A and B are shown apart, each in its own frame.
Chain A
Amino acid sequence: MSSPIKAWREQKKINKNLGIQGKIISWTKILVPPYGFSSDAPYFLAIIKTNNNTLIGQIVDTNGNAPKTGQKVETVYRRQKKPDTEGIIYYGIKFRIL
């Protein structure tokens, strides 16, 4: 569930995940999205292994081309899902293929 306070709290965590590189462990193409993500669909979702962590996130800037397991990616700062009724715009981390 959305909350302005939660969005404010989450913003503080984004910095530590910027400028990180990793590689794709597995990926999928989401064609039937959950509520709030219909304007993004279809989109690629992947599990990314970094040096010291494993993350989940969308792969962006692909021009519709499917990613491949093992490809290198880096984190980018992007808008997430559509703004809710309170007008909060959510930002977070997505991944771009290197």
Chain B
Amino acid sequence: MISVIGAYTTKFGELWNVTLRDLINEAAFSAISDASLDTKEIQAVYLGNMLSGMLSGQEQLGPMLTEELGVFVPAIRTEGACASGGLAVFEAVNALQSGKFETVLIVGAEKMTDRPQDMVAMALMAAGSDAERQAGATFPGLYALMARSHMEKYQTTQEQMAAVSVKNHFHASLNGKAQFPFTITIDKVMESGAIADPLKLLDCSPISDGASAIILTTKSARKKNIQIAASEVSTDTLGLAQRDSLTELLATKKASRSAYKNCGIAPTDVDVAELHDCFTIAEIMALEDLGFYKKGEAGPAILRGETKLGSKGLIANTSGGLKACGHPVGATGVKQIVEITQQLRGVSKAKQVENAKVGLCQNVGGTGATAVVTILKN
């Protein structure tokens, strides 16, 4: 049994006064403190990050973390674009299941706001294919291609997509760590400037700095016992054009089916989920691909107010999601686990989902070339 005994996330946002190292340090030591551990009890560290080489000129982040800890244990950095953090969790879970280690630290971190927007957009396109880069594609552009297909196939509307953003901003307004802790309206989303038609500025997650960390152990848990029930990864073609369908992420479907099967949990058992809403259409597709809604039914459901705190059934993205909590890409997959852990501990205060027992995290790299699905239970 693998338990989450420590969990912490830094403030997400434009954090101009801190470095990548500062963020990693704060997240790591705060998670260790939350777990009431001594650093000497950490047997290995896993660090999810995508862009440190391109944006900070720093690779080999593993020893940066062990240097900060003062404990020179094995250190592995994982990269899977925006799923880098989720992959770090997956690797750590595998190592614990193998019996190699008993207690490990996982950190996800990204420092993005030191560079101009077009440089960051270019760096993020490292997650795409050569053909996409040569064509001048951006990630908003690639998700816009999926959004248009979804709209044409299922009559999904721009208002339904806007409702995802409105819901997640409402949740972020209850989260002091969120980059955008304020509410917005559907009109405000609809009036925001076009980035890649049909996606507008307020359909898009921001460029963010931040770090998150968790401690996993196979030793008997000292805190309220939050377990990792399953962690699965699937991959798909790197380029979007090579997919059979533009209206689903096959990697999400496959990873989630394996995860559900491995732990005997069904979509109807899930109380709270952190979904990879890098763009509003992505949350609509995620709700469908994960089995919470049939294809074409998630958009109307969100517009009706479903998946929002206080509604019946599944609640999605209580952190504010990538859209409103922020999206430091390497941190996101770990932040999702932190959010669900806090929900299952029952310590989420104003954004607490009542009686939450089972949670799910979906973390996506690129346009769905990598998907990590992690299920936690109380």
> Which A residues are closer than 8 A to B by beta carbons?
10, 25-38, 40, 43, 45-48, 54-58, 66, 69, 80-81, 90, 92
Contacts and interface: CB of A to CB of B under 8 A. Distances in A.
| Chain B interface SS verdict (over half) | helix
Interface of A is mostly: strand
A36 to B, nearest CB: 7
Interface of B: 117-119, 121-122, 125, 131-138, 140-141, 144-146, 148-149, 152, 193-199, 239-242, 246
Given A26-B149, A33-B136, A56-B241, 16 more contacts: A27-B148, A28-B144, A28-B197, A31-B194, A32-B140, A34-B121, A34-B122, A34-B138, A35-B118, A35-B122, A45-B141, A45-B145, A47-B240, A56-B132, A57-B131, A57-B135
Contacts of A48: 241
A26 B246 contact: yes
B278 to A, nearest CB: 15
Nearest to A69: B152
A88 B142 CA distance: 27
A54 B121 CA distance: 24
B148 to A, nearest CB: 5
Contact of B138 (A33, A57, A69, A81): A33
A40 B136 contact: yes
B367 to A, nearest CB: 11
25 contacts: A26-B145, A26-B146, A26-B149, A27-B148, A28-B144, A28-B148, A28-B197, A32-B121, A32-B138, A33-B121, A34-B137, A45-B136, A45-B141, A45-B145, A45-B196, A47-B145, A47-B246, A48-B241, A54-B241, A55-B131, A55-B241, A56-B137, A56-B239, A56-B241, A81-B136
B197 A80 contact: no
